Structures are given as structure tokens and as C-alpha cells.
Amino acid sequence: MFSYGIPQKCEKCGYDIPLSQYTLKTRLCDKCIEKIKKEKEEFQKILSLDNLVINIIPIYGDESTSSIENGIRTIEYNYNHPKYELIHELGHFLLSEKTQYSYFVLQPPSNCNEEIFLYSNSIIDCFIDFNNLKIEDNHLYYIKYVKSILSGMNNIPKQATLSEIMQGFLKFFISFNYLIKNEDKEKLQEKLKMALEELKRFSIDQSIIMYPKDQRLNQKIFQNLEVKLSSFEDIKDTSNYQTITKFIYHVLRTMPFISEILLGDQIDLIFPLKNQEFLSSSFLL
Ligand SMILES: [Zn+2]
Ligand SMILES: [Zn+2]
């Protein structure tokens, strides 16, 4: 992968970097890493999170993520993606502080159902974005981020999976209806409507290929799903983590290809009750 003796170049400024510093995750020089750290600190201040120690690793591939491991908070931010992604990852810590519930940042338990985890995460993301967007300045970054994704939604790649597209639908139905500013919504109205219709059409078609008749999506199920999602408006500012996890449960209950028992078990696993969190941490001592 690396050619010895030839210096590697910083992906942002083109400056030579010694091979020893060119890591598997980052392809930036010290100066550019420092710049991203500064930006993170600025956004952290804006979100009133400057009392927390949050490490940042700029990465060149993969999705941005946030995590808490052994009490250490870390964001891996893909510096090739829009700035809002960095603000969003910080927002995971903001929601976790607001609700006093660390499972809105934690990585999933290894034995959980990945699909249910990812759907849950898309919904949590909406609560995060709501809180982030209480700060006026963040709207500018947010709408740029939405626009950058919008074109992909109107032109879904063939290899996309049902799960990916449904995650997108959950997130952007709420985004378009309850998060984007009215003035932006008016400007983008046609495109937004078309994008959601496209996500729906793709998901229904995929579910017909993948599932038996009684587990498929259809327009009626989407209507039901939209009704459930619309109660976001009433609870979006909650600081009660259970209000959020219950909302997730009720939204996902409308999906006919997820069984009720599996869903209940998985929600309990991914979002344990707070007193269970205490129990398990005292066992660790
Ligand atoms: Zn550089
Ligand atoms: Zn997120």
C-alpha cells in the first residue's frame, strides 16, 4: 500500500508527510489535523459542550462516528464529508448529556441485530439534529449537508439495500417535515417531495423481492409509518431517554418485516434501562 522512501502527500494541502505519520485512518499533515481540531473546539463551544473532553480523529474513508469507551469520548470525522457531519457527531454527546443516557453515543452491543440498531440510530439522529438546530448558525451547515445528500436520493444507486434506504426515509421524512427551516423547505419543496417518493418506491419494490406477501411494504404501511413519525413534533425536545426509545419502538413496529418479539428484545438490548446501567457498571468493579 505504501511505497517506502517516497513521501506521502497530505490530502488537503499536498504537503509532504513522513510515512511514520501517515496512518491507516488519516492522510493529513499536522497542520491540517490541527485545523480540524480547532474547528471541533469551535463547534463544541457553540453547542456548550466545552466542559467535555472529546477527542477527534480525522479519517479519510468510512462514515463519521462517535463513541465512549472506558469513559473516553472520541469522534471519528470523515474530513471529506460536509462540516455538518462533525456538528452532528458532537450532537450525539449533547443528546447524551441532555438525557443523561450514554447509549445514544455508544457503539452497538456485538450481539445485536444490526438492522434494528441502524434504524434506531437514524431516528436518534433526528433528535440530535433538532437539538443542534436550536442554534441558528448550524442551519447553514445543515442545509448544505441535506443538499449534498438530496441528489443521491433522487438517483438511488442499484446496489443500495432496503435497510439503507429505509434508514434514509426515517431520517429525511423527519428532516424535511420538522427540521429544515420553512424558507429552505419552500425553495426545495419539489425536490424534497420527489426524494421521499423515490425512497418509498425503492423500498416497496425491494420488499417485494425480499419478503413474503404479509411482510412487504406498501403505501398503506407508509401512511401508518408517517403518522407514527409525525409525533416527533410533540416529543422532539424531550430530555427523557425513554420517551425517545419508546418512540423508536412504535415507529419500527410499523415495519412488517420486523417481528414484534425480535423488536422488543432488541430495543431492550440496545437501550438498557438506566438502573441496569448502574448494575452492570458496579459489577465491573
Ligand atoms: Zn495538510
Ligand atoms: Zn448520528
The predicted pLDDT at position 2 comes to 52
Given pLDDT bands bounded at 50, 70 and 90, which one contains residue 94? very high
Ligand 1 center to residue 9 CA distance, Å?
Answer: 8
The predicted pLDDT at position 154 comes to 80
User: For 10-24, what is the mean pLDDT?
Assistant: 81
Of 24-33, 43-52, 92-101, 192-201, the range with the lowest mean pLDDT is 24-33
Residue 179 has pLDDT above 90, yes or no: yes
Ligand 1 center to residue 218 CA distance, Å?
Answer: 49
Ligand 2 center to residue 127 CA distance, Å?
Answer: 10
- Nearest ligand (C-alpha, residue 121): 2
- Nearest ligand (C-alpha, residue 167): 2
- Nearest ligand (C-alpha, residue 34): 1
The predicted pLDDT at position 283 comes to 46
Ligand 1 center to residue 44 CA distance, Å?
Answer: 23
Q: Give pTM, 2 decimals.
A: 0.92
- Specify the higher pLDDT residue, 8 or 59: 59
Of 94-103, 183-192, 272-281, the range with the lowest mean pLDDT is 272-281
Per-domain residue ranges for the chain?
109-283
Ligand 2 center to residue 39 CA distance, Å?
Answer: 19
User: For 272-282, what is the mean pLDDT?
Assistant: 63
Ligand 1 center to residue 27 CA distance, Å?
Answer: 8
Are residues 15 and 31 in contact, defined by beta-carbon separation less than 8 angstroms?
A: yes
- Specify the higher pLDDT residue, 261 or 62: 261
The predicted pLDDT at position 5 comes to 59
- Nearest ligand (C-alpha, residue 28): 1
